[in-house]
């Protein structure tokens, strides 16, 4: 769910990016690529991306090598629907109990890999964690893997993500830059609000944060804390997987209102400070 924003905000952000000396190195670094421009990676960036991809692939492969051979057909399946999650729950319940360390290692590797490289389906992985491990243990597992995956995506994007993000989300990136510039003093509060509420997609936040110069410690803290409410909702739904008919049921109107109320607590200090300043 993307945040609606006015055209004037986009134009103001674009005008701010163009102010000053456009030819300076700092200005070039701060500006996103032209909208619609194809992402162009340098040879070193492409090599780094390939090295990271190969490292993740090798790690996951090594995990699967340690798993019992009879379980291969059940493990080598990424959930793409609720039906897949239900099937995996039935097939992996015994394996997750008898080989818990192996299963958790494989689960974490796959989840982090998917989030690092923006592969859809992590919400189904979260449902599976709830179905297999319960609310508390499954919630801890999901928050850990989601934070690790987001952090990994942050560093990959810092290395090679600028042309890709500028190509995929040019207007959203300009808006994000302008909002971050206005909230430098209370950046953690703003990032918590974004993480708790479905204002901006998490994939975009992971990729765009290093490009707009959000410090990693703020990104990490906001991610670790801000993902707890949504993870709890998803993991709890995994416990009642048989009653869930659609993923859309996870975020109905009531749930969205609760998330925005929680998120408003995070930005309350910023609002109160502005009010005192104006007074």
Task: Calculate the alpha carbon distances from 244 to 131, 158, 256 in Å.
Answer: 12, 38, 17
Alpha helices for the chain (secondary structure H): 7-18, 25-30, 43-66, 72-75, 82-98, 100-116, 122-160, 162-168, 170-182, 187-196, 202-208, 216-226, 228-239, 253-278
- Tokens 């990424």: give the residue: 78
pTM of full prediction above 0.85 = no
Distance CA 26, CA 30 (A): 6
Distance CA 49, CA 154 (A): 13
pLDDT band at 279 (very low <50, low <70, confident <90, very high): very low
Q: State both tokens at 31.
A: 């500006």
User: In this model, does residue 74 exceed pLDDT 60?
Assistant: no
Question: CA angle, corner 46, sides to 45 and 51, nearest 5?
Answer: 95
The three-state (H, E, C) secondary structure of 169-210, written as one string:
CHHHHHHHHHHHHHCCCCHHHHHHHHHHCCCCCHHHHHHHCC
CB distance 18 to 187 below 8 Å: no
The pLDDT, as a whole number, for residue 204 is 95
pLDDT in tens, 20-57: 444 444 444 444 444 444 555 677 767 767 777 777 77
pLDDT in tens, 141-158: 999 999 999 999 998 898
Provide the mean pLDDT of the chain: 78
Task: Calculate the alpha carbon distances from 220 to 25, 66, 228 in Å.
Answer: 28, 31, 13
Distance CA 154, CA 165 (A): 12
Render the burial of 160-182: b for 16+ CB within 10 Å, e for the rest. bbbbbbbbbbbebbbbbbbbbee
User: In this model, does residue 2 exceed pLDDT 50?
Assistant: no
Distance CA 218, CA 36 (A): 30
Distance CA 253, CA 204 (A): 23
pLDDT band at 88 (very low <50, low <70, confident <90, very high): confident
CB distance 193 to 199 below 8 Å: yes
pLDDT in tens, 251-270: 777 787 888 787 777 665 55
User: In this model, does residue 183 exceed pLDDT 70?
Assistant: yes
């Amino acid at each position: 769910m993307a945040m609606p924003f006015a055209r004037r905000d986009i134009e103001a952000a674009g005008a701010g990016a163009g102010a000053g000396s456009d030819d300076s190195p700092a200005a070039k670094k701060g500006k996103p690529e032209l909208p619609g421009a194809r992402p162009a990676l340098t040879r070193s960036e492409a090599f780094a991306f390939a090295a990271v991809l190969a490292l993740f692939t090798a790690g996951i492969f090594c995990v699967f090598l340690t798993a019992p051979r009879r379980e291969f057909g059940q493990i080598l399946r990424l959930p793409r629907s609720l039906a897949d999650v239900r099937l995996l729950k039935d097939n992996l319940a015994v394996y997750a109990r008898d080989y818990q360390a192996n299963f958790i290692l494989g689960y974490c590797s796959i989840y982090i890999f998917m989030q690092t490289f923006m592969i859809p389906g992590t919400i189904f992985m979260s449902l599976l964690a709830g179905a297999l491990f319960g609310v508390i243990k499954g919630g801890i597992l999901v928050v850990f893997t989601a934070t690790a995956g987001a952090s990994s995506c942050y560093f990959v994007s810092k290395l090679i993500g600028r042309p890709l993000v500028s190509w995929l989300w040019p207007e959203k990136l300009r808006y994000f830059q302008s909002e971050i510039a206005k909230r430098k003093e209370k950046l953690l509060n703003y990032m918590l609000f974004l993480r708790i509420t479905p204002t901006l997609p998490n994939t975009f936040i992971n990729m765009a944060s290093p490009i707009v110069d959000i410090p990693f410690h703020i990104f990490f803290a906001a991610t670790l804390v801000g993902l707890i409410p949504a993870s709890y909702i998803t993991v709890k739904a995994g416990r009642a997987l048989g009653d869930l008919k659609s993923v859309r049921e996870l975020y109905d109107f009531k749930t969205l209102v609760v998330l925005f109320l929680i998120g408003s607590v995070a930005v309350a200090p910023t609002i109160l400070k502005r009010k005192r300043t104006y007074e």
